[in-house]
Amino acid sequence: MAKQKNKTQPTDVLPADFIAGVEDEQKRQDAEWVLKMMEEVTGEPAKMWGPSIIGFGSYRYVYPSGREGDWMLTGFSPRKTALSIYLMSGVEREKESLEKLGKHKLGKSCLYLKKLSDVDTDVLQEMVVSSVQKVREGDIRY
């Protein structure tokens, strides 16, 4: 299989500059909190991945199909409709935490939050810690 490069690659844009450009003040404040929390959890500096995702660290993945590449350990994006939190080990693995989290929606590896005040931020941080640990151990489910 020919190696394809991910469309979303790290860039040289500063995450702080990207967050400063978020128009909604509450979403900007939420993004600043998530940025600080994810830096503390991962011990990695924030890096822009593509035009709108802030990621932390990286790992090498290989899909069963043979496709492989590098991706962030965890990340987020302050989108207009929701704050997207990327838990690369798989959100569905965190059922117990999801029950305690608060108001949210789910994707395969993505948690969508309208605002941080809708959720228990301690539970959110525990979920990020759990996901990062699983990814670092190679415990990822596709």
The string of pLDDT tens digits covering residues 35-72 is 999 999 999 999 999 999 999 999 988 878 888 888 99
Distance in angstroms (rounded) separating the CA atoms of residues 39 and 35: 6
Q: Which long-range contacts (CB under 8 A, 24 or more apart) does 30-35 make?
A: 30/78, 30/83, 30/113, 30/115, 30/116, 31/76, 31/78, 31/83, 33/116, 33/121, 34/76, 34/83, 34/85, 34/116, 35/76
66 CB-near residues (< 8 Å, 6+ apart): 1
Q: How confident is the model at residue 4 (pLDDT cuts 50, 70, 90)?
A: low
Using 50, 70 and 90 to split pLDDT, how confident is the model at 1? Answer: very low
| The CATH number fitting domain 15-136, selected from 3.60.15.10, 3.40.50.300, 3.90.1150.200, 3.20.180.10 | 3.90.1150.200
Write down the pLDDT at residue 2. 45
Count of C-beta atoms within a 10 Å radius of residue 90 = 16
Closest CA to 54 of 68, 41, 38: 38
Q: What integer is the mean pLDDT of 13-37?
A: 97
Residue 80's Cβ-side half-sphere holds a number of Cα atoms within 13 Å equal to 0
Which pLDDT tens digit goes with each residue over 76-105?
Answer: 999 999 999 999 998 888 889 999 999 999
Q: Which residues have CB under 8 Å from 60's CB, separation 6+?
A: 68, 69, 70
